[in-house]
């Protein structure tokens, strides 16, 4: 079993969490929305598909670059798009 990690790319506040524990996600699906310190909204997506193993942040949390947002239990089959 392989676990993928979703990381924050920026400093900011988690404005929206679009996923829940133990739900299935698909590649490039919006997972989180972070409001950066500059006031820009950053949509967080990943190239992983699988099941959400754990959420490490919630709405209102302050995040920094490299901070873990979620762990994903990856599917072993490819479901990609172009």
Which residues constitute the domain of residue 10? 3-74
Name the phi and psi angles at 60, rounded to 5. 95, -15
If we measure between CA atoms, which residue out of 76, 69, 62 comes closest to residue 11? 62
Please check whether residue 33 is in contact with residue 15, taking contact to mean a CB–CB distance below 8 angstroms.
Answer: yes
Q: What's the number of domains the chain is made of?
A: 1
Is 81 part of a structural domain of the chain? Answer: no
| 47 domain-assigned | yes
The CATH number of the domain where 21 resides is what?
2.40.50.100
**Assessment of whether the complete model's pTM goes beyond 0.85:** yes
User: What are the pLDDT digits (tens) for 22-54?
Assistant: 999 999 999 999 999 999 999 999 999 999 999
Has residue 13 been placed in a domain? yes
Per-residue pLDDT tens digits for 8-20? 999 999 999 999 9
């Amino acid at each position: 079993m392989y676990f993928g990690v979703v990381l924050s790319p920026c400093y900011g506040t988690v404005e929206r969490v679009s996923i829940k524990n133990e739900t299935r996600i698909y590649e490039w699906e919006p997972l989180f929305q972070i409001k950066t310190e500059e006031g820009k909204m950053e949509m967080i997506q990943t190239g992983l598909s699988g099941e959400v193993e754990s959420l490490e942040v919630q709405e209102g949390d302050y995040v920094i670059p490299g901070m873990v947002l979620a762990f994903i239990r990856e599917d072993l089959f490819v479901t990609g798009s172009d």
